[in-house]
Structure 1
Amino acid sequence: MITLLKLFRIIPVFVLSAFIIACGAGNAIEYDIVVPASINPGDEIPTPSGEVILIVSGDIAATNASGTIEFDMNTLEKLGLVSYEVSDPWLQEKVTYTGVLLSDLLEVANASATLTDVFATALDDYAISIPASEIEAWPILIATQSNGAYMSIENNGPTRIIFPYDRHDDITDARNMSVWNLESLDVR
C-alpha cells in the first residue's frame, strides 16, 4: 500500500519524467516564469489606460476596442512574464529578454483554433508572417524588456519578437521573424 508521503515523492518524479518524454530531452526549451498571469483566457481584457504599444486584430474573439485588442504595457504584462537568454545576432552578445509568450497572448485573445499564421508588423512597416507551426513549436516572446530594462523605440522596443534561435538549428527563418519595434499582430 502506498502511503500519502510516498505518493507525494512519486508524483513530482512522474511529472518531471512526463515533461522530459513529452518535450524530448534534447528539444525542451527552458524559460523562467518571472510574473504569473493575472489576465487569463476568458477574462475581460481592460481597455488601456496608458499609451497603446500593441494592437492585436484578425481572427480573435476577445476584444477591448472595436474588434481588436489594444494593449498598453501594464495590460500586456498582466498576461504573465517569462524570460530566457539568447545570443542576439544583431547586438552580438548574450541578452536576457523578458516578455509575454505569443502563445499565451493568442490564448487570451481567444484566437481561432484553425489559425494558419500571425502577421507581425513593425513601426517601419516591416512585416512578416509567423506560421502557426512555429508558434506551437517554440516559446516565442513578445519581449518588453532587455536585460531587465524596458526597451525604447530607439532600442528596438517597446515590444520585440524574440525566438530562442541560438538554441536549436531547426527553427526556420527565425532571424527574419524576429521583428523589433513591433506595432501590431494580425491573427489569420
Structure 2
Amino acid sequence: MSLRYHIVQTALMTALVFMAVPAAAEDVLLTLTGAVTDGRVEMTRADFDTMDWHEFSTSTSVTDGRPEFRGVLMRDALAHAGAEGSSVRATALNDYVVDIPVEDFHRFDVLAALYMDDVPLTPRDKGPVWIVYPRDNHGVLADIRYDMRWVWQLVALHVQ
C-alpha cells in the first residue's frame, strides 16, 4: 500500500473520530465544593457572566505598576454557589493551597479576576481566575498575610 493510501486512511479515521465526539461543554473555570449547593458547583464563563462585574486598579507584589483587574466579587461567586461557611480553601493549578476567611470577601471588594488590563487571563498569565485584593484602597492589605491569599491560576474553592 502506498504512502498516499495511509495518509488518506488516517485523515478519514481522524474525521470519523471527531464526528463521533460530541461538542465539549463550556470549560469549567472554578469548582466549589464543601458547604455549597449539592456539595459541588462548577462555574463556567457563562455563570460568571450572570453576575455583576467590577473593576479596579491596584498594585500587586508580582506585577509592575497598577494593572486594572476586572471580574466578579468573590462574595458574589460564593453566593452564586450557595456557599455557607467561614473559610475557603483555595487551590491553584500548581497545587498551591491557602485558607482564606470568608470575612475578607465581605470586608473588602476582593475580585475573582478574569481580566488584567482588558486581556483575558489564561493559565500562562495567572488565570483563568485570580483572587485579587484591592490592595491600594486599604493599607492593611499591604501585609504579607494578605499577599499569601492572592491565588492565581485558581481552580477550586472548598467552603468550610
The answer, yes or no, to whether TM exceeds 0.5 is: yes
How far off is 1:179 after superposition? 0.4
How far off is 1:80 after superposition? 2.1
Q: 1:176 to 1:94 in 2, by over 3 A?
A: same
Alpha carbons 1:86, 1:94 under 8 Å: kept: yes
Residue 170 of structure 1: SS of its match in structure 2? Answer: helix
- Greater shift in the superposed pair: 166-175 or 68-77: 166-175
Q: Give the structure, 1 or 2, with the largest relative contact order (CA under 8 Å, sep 6 or more).
A: 2
Counterpart check, 1:165 vs 2:135: yes
**Whose helix fraction is larger, Structure 1's or Structure 2's?**
2
- Give the AA of the match of 1:99: G
Q: Displaced runs of 4+ in structure 1, greater than 4 A?
A: none
> Out of 123, 128, 131, which is 2:98 matched to?
128
Root-mean-square deviation (CA), in Å?
1.6
How far off is 1:93 after superposition? 1.3
How far off is 1:79 after superposition? 1.9
Counterpart check, 1:55 vs 2:27: no
Counterpart check, 1:95 vs 2:67: yes
Counterpart check, 1:83 vs 2:55: yes
Which runs of no fewer than 5 residues in structure 2 stay unpaired? Answer: 1-23
Residue 94 of structure 1: SS of its match in structure 2? Answer: coil
Alpha carbons 1:55, 1:184 under 8 Å: kept: yes
Which runs of no fewer than 5 residues in structure 1 stay unpaired? Answer: 1-47
How far off is 1:169 after superposition? 1.8
Q: Tell me how far apart the structure 2 counterparts of residues 164 and 86 of structure 1 sit (CA, whole Å).
A: 6
Percent identity of the aligned residues?
26
- State how 1:1-188 maps to structure 2 within 5 Å: 49-61=25-37, 63=38, 67-112=39-84, 115-171=85-141, 173-188=145-160
Name the TM-score, length of structure 2 as normaliser: 0.78
1:27-75 deviation per Cα after TM superposition (whole angstroms, max 9, x unaligned): xxxxxxxxxxxxxxxxxxxxx93111110111012x5xxx311112222
- Give the AA of the match of 1:129: D
